[in-house]
Structure 1
Amino acid sequence: MAIFSKVVAASSFRIAAKELGIAPSRVSHSVSDLEQFLGVTLLHRTTRKLSLTPEGEKFYTHVENITKHAEAGLNEINSVGDEPIGTLKISLPAFLASSEISAAIAEFVQIYPKVNLSLNYTDQVVNIMDEGLDLSIRVGWLADSSLMARKIGESKRLLVASSTYAKKHKIPEHPNDLNSGIGYILACVAAP
């Protein structure tokens, strides 16, 4: 139908073929196939002139609307490639609320205002599929998964305590010392 519409608009098989970037014989065959499918003649063809039959005129009106709507849809989809649009759902650990990642997300929102961003800061384990998430940022080792994963950075973890606390409690010498409880409780923080 798009080829038929182009032929009518150009009033020529050859010009339509050139605009479509296909062989004139392909244009002619496509229109003939359409006529055979519909069981009517759409175009009067002479060596000098091309004109619509009464059935062709009726059909062309509808085809023209279809092709205009299709082109508008294609243009709309192609414009999405130039500027992202839609909803993006992301889950992050709560401690990343004040991080470079959150700053980068804020910058993303400024650059792409048509993206509706939904952020969920939680330390709960989330199922990306069940929650309908587009992206989940997590810290630690990834369990076997069929999901696509990328490492986006590293951070060191340090055990720290105030000097007053350290004077009152035993200093752990081995990670297992932390399992024994009260005397060895130290804060664990992420270092940049």
Structure 2
Amino acid sequence: MNLPIIDFYSAESDRLSTAISIRQACIEYGFFYLVNHGVENDLVRAFDESKRFFSLPLEDKMKLAYKEFRGYTPPDPSLGLQGDSKESYYIGPLSDSTSANLNQWPSQELLGNCRPSIESMYWKLFGVGKKLLSLIALSLNMDEDFFEKIGAEDKPAAFLRLLHYPGVMGPHDEICSAIQILARSPS
């Protein structure tokens, strides 16, 4: 299935047309790709920081173990090949100091720019989300600032979740590997 592509840059010049495209995509598919949103460079930096974080030794990551809906969660070994073998790192809302202080960050000595890079991406994505909400309001034939007026942006509860899939082989890969080994074995 080819999902619709919404060009966020075009929204600057033709908001109504972009809103109509969003509405159509949501009605027909329920999803869409958002391109030219302006956070591409931040995403690259965040992926680099994410890669650095997940490459840390487990004992360093476990110092940031998940609590208060934030922090590191290791893969669940009990799931084996049947489950979702990802590890994750949650960053909670940054909009108020009480909530933001619950976030757990690797030390600057350990990962230097990790926190500023991730926080920068968080805020830029949040800004894109606010603009997207105004387009969604337009797509519903409402005022652009509808969600702002009703307070939907007052205390945002946006979480950022970094994921890492360690690349465990699935049953099909094991079968293929076994076949390759058998094919090389002398008869």
- The TM-score with structure 2 as length reference comes to 0.24
- Could you say which structure has the greater relative contact order, defined with CA pairs below 8 angstroms and 6 or more residues apart? 2
Task: Flag the structure with higher strand content.
Answer: 1
TM-score w.r.t. the length of structure 1 is 0.23
Name the larger-Rg structure: 1
